[in-house]
Chain A
């Protein structure tokens, strides 16, 4: 029986798991501990720089020269 399908699937699972863990660690370091979204969270301003930057980037116009 070929081991290739198993290895490929395990590799894919491993890569995906790695990215999920990395994303969570980054969020935790930035101060966001929950898995909830931030878009309408009333406490998002109290939460993290990550979210403020994200929200700020969603703003439309900056009045600059």
Chain B
């Protein structure tokens, strides 16, 4: 007894977590592993591998979180990895995590996993959602039909986790219990002489024709000396003309599988799944009719894109109108604070230089950015609403067709959507593209999607120069960014090496009322990030800008045009004259934008000594200063275009280098974006000036 216990304790069980994407697999995995988590990449590929360890009573487990997959075909890297990992006996027990509220979709993978021949336990996750929807799953019938243990869990609410591990600990032997044999009706008139009684242990039994072929192929594999643990699985793969298996097993398929039976096998699996759903799912929630109706419009081949642009236009309208209303309070607050600090510093007798640094540098720079917080808040509130409602998944689907025509994988648009928030995670998300050429092209064009950091620039300049067309002017930046990205992708496809065309496989969730808590958490995180950025990066950048604008070769200078910043700006500015940006102040602002795009606005505050730049007075003062230097609306739009398209912030450059693993391509991307920005700004300014001078 003691020996048995000791043996059990010493033996470490390897458990693999498999499941569809978004089924809560990683949440469940993390619930077990906690901080004992190791993250790496699978050897030779960029797919992430997570391993963890845990103890449950006397049992030690090594847990592996395998990539989210929909099936075990060999089309994608994730599928190949998972399949090979299981076949190589790297796992003792498989936990198949399924979204219980979408069981029909998840059971296909379950059946494939069972066919692999390893012990499988079905973890029915999201049971809390099943209960919310009034659905019920027959927990007696389901294990009977599948022939494996089925454990209801909720990773989010942490229920069922103990019993799941208990089941894993006691299920490591291959299951040998009585399953209900699933009989297919014979197709056509042909009757097989093949007896199916020995399929008592199988969950999935196919039609007589397929079963006959499986038996013949098994015999042929044994004849040629191929050895494996699961002949049936290999026979099925040969019938499906699975490329990897056909290369591995040299069996003559003539007369047995001259054509692929993949479609037939899939059909029969789904027939069985329909039976399971029919028998086991009570009060099945019908797909919302509303979802179908809405999708007919938003994913329409022709109307889908205009609908997307229309929705984004509404988002910007709200960002400007509601955001501006709230911004007024921030401006008043900033004004009061600035005056209070100024009076306070004068009262305690601080030096003029320090007073200037604090008031004209830090408060003007950081405060100027903080007044845009309401606009940022409204933007992210709207984006959170769209994301949580389920709409954003449709955008990727809609853009897939266009991306395909440009020679980009449909999956390339998903990183680009992320670019509306921040370019850094958007560039990192390009890792999901397996083909390096696709990835490179996506990394090159993603920065053209205007990130949220550029919003303060658009808000300020469009309000200053475009009056009641301010919303249109700002919105046009996003549209132009998208257009330039599309054109760049087209040109690269035309003249460069064509990338692979891996299809887009994306889940379109049902539309739902956004969850208040989810939206609150998302928006609060974004607000916190914005405030943190203001207090760190922008704070430091404001100090540096103040220094370079108040110190020159002769030391501290009253005249900013003699400062280091001015000297450098005047050296560069002639290059930008054709783009209407030939002011040294503009050059300084653009260069400071490399730290973070919001710093462009902070720079103008410091450059023109305006404490509250987004207030009406502040903007009037800035317009007056700029107009005296012949900076008009055409120049302003050219400036916004340049800010949209030129080199992104240094953080993005660093991530581009890391993702492309090439200094050459990183430099190319910087020069590429600068060139596009310059070209577009020059074109616009020249044509715009010509038209306005007519």
Mark A residues whose CB is within 8 Å of B: 1-3, 5-6, 9-10, 13, 16-17, 20-21, 23-24, 28, 31, 33-37, 39-47, 49, 52-53, 55-57, 59-65
B55 and A65 form a contact (CB under 8 A): yes
Contacts of A3 in B (CB 8 A): 351
Q: Which residues, 396 to 442 on B, are CB-close (under 8 Å) to A?
A: 418, 421-422, 424-425, 428-429, 431
B37 and A37 form a contact (CB under 8 A): no
Q: How far is the CB of B256 from chain A (nearest CB, A)?
A: 44
A5 and B532 form a contact (CB under 8 A): no
A63 and B54 form a contact (CB under 8 A): yes
Q: Mark B241-258, 1 if CB is under 8 A from A, else 0.
A: 000000000000000000
Residue B316 interfacial (CB < 8 Å)? no
A6 and B350 form a contact (CB under 8 A): yes
Residue B290 interfacial (CB < 8 Å)? no
B165 and A63 form a contact (CB under 8 A): yes
Among B425, B533, B652, find the residue whose CB has the most chain A CB atoms closer than 10 A: B425
Among A2, A42, A44, A57, find the residue whose CB has the most chain B CB atoms closer than 10 A: A42
Indicate whether A61 sits within 8 Å of B422 (C-beta atoms), given known contacts A6-B351, A47-B428: no
B349 and A1 form a contact (CB under 8 A): yes
Residue B505 interfacial (CB < 8 Å)? no
Compute how far the CA of A33 lies from the CA of B652 in the bound complex, rounded to whole angstroms: 8
B536 and A24 form a contact (CB under 8 A): yes
Q: Mark B27-57, 1 if CB is under 8 A from A, else 0.
A: 0001111111101000000001010001111
Indicate whether A17 sits within 8 Å of B54 (C-beta atoms), given known contacts A5-B348, A59-B31, A60-B158: no
Contacts of B596 in A (CB 8 A): 35
Lowest 8 CB-CB distances: which A-B pairs, in order? Answer: A34-B424, A62-B34, A37-B529, A43-B428, A43-B425, A33-B654, A33-B651, A56-B35
Q: How far is the CB of B449 from chain A (nearest CB, A)?
A: 15
Contacts of A57 in B (CB 8 A): 35
A13-B357, A24-B536, A47-B428 provided; 6 other pairs, C-beta below 8 A? A33-B655, A34-B655, A37-B529, A42-B425, A43-B424, A45-B50
Contacts of A40 in B (CB 8 A): 521-522, 525
Indicate whether A37 sits within 8 Å of B532 (C-beta atoms), given known contacts A42-B418, A65-B55: yes
Q: How far is the CB of B421 from chain A (nearest CB, A)?
A: 8
Contacts of B431 in A (CB 8 A): 43, 46
- Nearest to B423 among chain A residues (CB) is A34
Residue B395 interfacial (CB < 8 Å)? no
Give the interface SS of chain B, mostly helix, strand, loop or mixed. helix
A36 and B424 form a contact (CB under 8 A): yes
A45 and B532 form a contact (CB under 8 A): no
- Nearest to A3 among chain B residues (CB) is B351
Mark B residues whose CB is within 8 Å of A: 30-37, 39, 48, 50, 54-57, 158, 161-162, 165, 345, 348-351, 354, 357-358, 418, 421-422, 424-425, 428-429, 431, 521-522, 525-526, 528-529, 532-533, 535-537, 539-540, 543, 596, 650-652, 654-655, 658
Indicate whether A6 sits within 8 Å of B536 (C-beta atoms), given known contacts A33-B424, A40-B522, A63-B55: no
The listed residue (A13, A35, A52) touching B537 by CB distance below 8 A is A35
The listed residue (A23, A35, A56, A64) touching B533 by CB distance below 8 A is A35
The listed residue (A31, A52, A53, A62) touching B54 by CB distance below 8 A is A62
Indicate whether A42 sits within 8 Å of B429 (C-beta atoms), given known contacts A20-B536, A36-B422: yes
B425 and A41 form a contact (CB under 8 A): yes
Contacts of A39 in B (CB 8 A): 521, 525
The listed residue (B358, B540, B658) touching A20 by CB distance below 8 A is B540
Q: How far is the CB of B337 from chain A (nearest CB, A)?
A: 16
- Nearest to B26 among chain A residues (CB) is A45
Contacts of A56 in B (CB 8 A): 30, 33-37
- Nearest to A19 among chain B residues (CB) is B536
The listed residue (B39, B349, B429, B521) touching A52 by CB distance below 8 A is B39
Contacts of A10 in B (CB 8 A): 354
Contacts of B424 in A (CB 8 A): 33-34, 36, 43
Q: How far is the CB of B506 from chain A (nearest CB, A)?
A: 14
Compute how far the CA of A5 lies from the CA of B36 in the bound complex, rounded to whole angstroms: 49
Compute how far the CA of A13 lies from the CA of B544 in the bound complex, rounded to whole angstroms: 13
Q: How far is the CB of B319 from chain A (nearest CB, A)?
A: 19
- Nearest to B653 among chain A residues (CB) is A33
The listed residue (B36, B57, B529) touching A36 by CB distance below 8 A is B529
A46 and B48 form a contact (CB under 8 A): yes
B358 and A9 form a contact (CB under 8 A): yes
Contacts of A64 in B (CB 8 A): 54-55
Contacts of B357 in A (CB 8 A): 13
Contacts of A35 in B (CB 8 A): 529, 532-533, 536-537, 596, 651
Compute how far the CA of A43 lies from the CA of B415 in the bound complex, rounded to whole angstroms: 10
Contacts of A55 in B (CB 8 A): 30
The listed residue (A33, A37, A43) touching B525 by CB distance below 8 A is A37
Compute how far the CA of A44 lies from the CA of B654 in the bound complex, rounded to whole angstroms: 16
Contacts of B526 in A (CB 8 A): 37
Compute how far the CA of A25 lies from the CA of B215 in the bound complex, rounded to whole angstroms: 63
Compute how far the CA of A31 lies from the CA of B36 in the bound complex, rounded to whole angstroms: 20
Compute how far the CA of A31 lies from the CA of B428 in the bound complex, rounded to whole angstroms: 12
Contacts of B36 in A (CB 8 A): 56, 62
B34 and A61 form a contact (CB under 8 A): yes
Indicate whether A59 sits within 8 Å of B651 (C-beta atoms), given known contacts A1-B349, A37-B528, A45-B48: no
A61 and B418 form a contact (CB under 8 A): no
- Nearest to A48 among chain B residues (CB) is B39
Q: How far is the CB of A48 from chain B (nearest CB, A)?
A: 10
Contacts of A24 in B (CB 8 A): 536-537
Q: How far is the CB of A44 from chain B (nearest CB, A)?
A: 8
Contacts of A59 in B (CB 8 A): 30-31, 33-35
Contacts of B50 in A (CB 8 A): 45
- Nearest to B524 among chain A residues (CB) is A39
Contacts of B161 in A (CB 8 A): 61, 63
Compute how far the CA of A60 lies from the CA of B159 in the bound complex, rounded to whole angstroms: 13
B651 and A52 form a contact (CB under 8 A): no
Contacts of A49 in B (CB 8 A): 39
A62 and B35 form a contact (CB under 8 A): yes
Q: Would you give 30 A-B contacts (Cβ < 8 Å), ordered by A?
A: A5-B345, A6-B351, A9-B358, A10-B354, A13-B357, A13-B543, A17-B543, A24-B536, A31-B658, A33-B424, A34-B424, A34-B652, A35-B596, A35-B651, A37-B529, A39-B525, A43-B418, A43-B425, A43-B431, A45-B48, A46-B431, A47-B425, A59-B30, A59-B34, A59-B35, A60-B31, A62-B32, A63-B54, A63-B56, A64-B55
Contacts of A44 in B (CB 8 A): 425
Q: How far is the CB of B389 from chain A (nearest CB, A)?
A: 16
Indicate whether A9 sits within 8 Å of B354 (C-beta atoms), given known contacts A33-B655, A53-B35, A59-B30: yes
Compute how far the CA of A49 lies from the CA of B35 in the bound complex, rounded to whole angstroms: 12
Contacts of B652 in A (CB 8 A): 33-34
Compute how far the CA of A39 lies from the CA of B162 in the bound complex, rounded to whole angstroms: 28
Contacts of A47 in B (CB 8 A): 425, 428
